[in-house]
Chains A and B, each alone.
Chain A
Amino acid sequence: DGGITQSPKYLFRKEGQNVTLSCEQNLNHDAMYWYRQDPGQGLRLIYYSQIVNDFQKGDIAEGYSVSREKKESFPLTVTSAQKNPTAFYLCASSILGANYGYTFGSGTRLTVV
C-alpha cells in the first residue's frame, strides 16, 4: 500500500544536539511538507519542497534544515539553534496544485531532555 512513513515515532534530544527526522513516501507525490504542532495549537509550516533539490522556508524555519535529494525522501534536521524543539512534527505529501489535499505521516514526537 502507498503511504508516507515517519521515523522514529518518539525522539529524545539532549541540549546542543542536532537530530534528524525521517520522512519517506511511496505515493509518487512531487510535493512534501514539514509542519510543527504544539499542544492546543494548529500546524505551523517549517519547510516545503515541490521538486527535487529545491525547497522553500515556511513561517518558522529558523533552527531547522531540510534536504530533498530524492523525490521519495524529505528529512528534517532540528539543529541546536532551535531553542524550543519539543513538539509533534508532521510530514505530509501531495500532488502538485492548489486543489489537492495532503496525506500525512503518523508523526514524530520530539522531546528535549
Chain B
Amino acid sequence: QKEVEQNSGPLSVPEGAIASLNCTYSDRVSQSFFWYRQYSGKSPELIMSIYSNGDKEDGRFTAQLNKASQYVSLLIRDSQPSDSATYLCAVNYQAGTALIFGKGTTLSVSS
C-alpha cells in the first residue's frame, strides 16, 4: 500500500514567520509531488508542484524535494493569517494512476 504521511498539526506560527510543512512518501519510484491548500469547508487548490530534487520557489512558497530521503516539504515565508488552512501533500507514483493524498497538516498563523 503506497502511503503519504504528514504531521496533522496544528502547526502554529506568528505572523511574519516561516512555516515549514513536511511530507514523506513510501515508494522510491514516485514521479511528481504536489501541495494543495484547503480552507475549511472548501475544496483543495493547487499551490505548488515539484518533480526534480532541489528547491522550487514561487512567491512566498518554496517546495523542496529529496528523493533519496523520500521527503518533500513546503516553506511559507512571511506567513499571513490568510495562510491559515490545511495543507495537503499529494504524490503521483506512476503515470496512468491517480494522486495519493496525505491527511493534511493544519496551519494556524496568529496576528
* Interface, chain A (partner B; CB < 8 A): 33, 35, 40-45, 48, 50, 58, 90, 97-99, 101-107
* Contact among A41, A50, A98, A102 with B46 in the assembled complex (CB-CB below 8 Å): A102
Q: Looking at the assembled complex, report how far the CB atom of A95 sits from the nearest CB atom of chain B, in whole angstroms.
A: 12
Top 6 A-B pairs, shortest CB-CB distance: A42-B103, A104-B43, A98-B95, A43-B101, A101-B46, A98-B31
Given contacts A98-B31, A104-B43, A106-B42, 5 further A-B contacts (CB under 8 A): A43-B90, A50-B96, A90-B43, A99-B32, A107-B42
Count of interface residues, chain B, beta-carbon cutoff 8 Å: 27
Alpha-carbon gap, A90 to B43, bound state (A): 7
B104–A42 contact, CB under 8 A? yes
